Amino acid sequence: MKKDHGKEPARKPEGRKSSGLKPQDLEFFKKLLLDLRQRLMQKVDNLAEEAFTPDAGGVSASPSHLGDVGFDYYSQEVSLELLQNEREALWEIEEALSRINQGTYGQCEQCGEPIAKERLELLPYTRYCINCARQMESES
């Protein structure tokens, strides 16, 4: 007799089409996302160090000239903005990995249509098909 552990089998959300991705495709994208996540985590560490370490392109310990202060401030701002962008990309990667586990990876979150495999290869953490992405971009 099988025991029910209270877990429901993973299901595709109602009204959604299959992404058309094969199990080997999903494994490929999972590996791609994990590799990308690892590279970005290293980049985030480097940017954080650069932004917050004196004399490492971030904050100068004792600037000797007013121009140095301005340059140090600008360099730190650039590093912090890049750091924020990379953290957002890491969040998107985590969400894409979650979609793989939920069985919804490769489906547009706007229209439910499959996202082209070529688009996923270029931007593996994308949430939207090209048509919805263009529409959203033109509206903003």
- Residue 101 backbone phi and psi in degrees, to 5: -65, -30
pLDDT tens for 82-139 read 888 999 999 999 999 999 999 999 999 999 999 999 999 999 999 999 999 999 999 9
**d(Cα 52, Cα 119) in Å, to the nearest integer?**
36
pLDDT in tens, 14-56: 555 677 899 999 999 999 999 999 999 999 888 888 777 765 4
Read off the tokens for 58.
Answer: 């971030």
The CATH code that applies to domain 23-139 is 1.20.120.910
| In the chain, domain spans | 23-139
pLDDT exceeding 90 applies to what percent of the chain?
56
| Model pTM score | 0.71
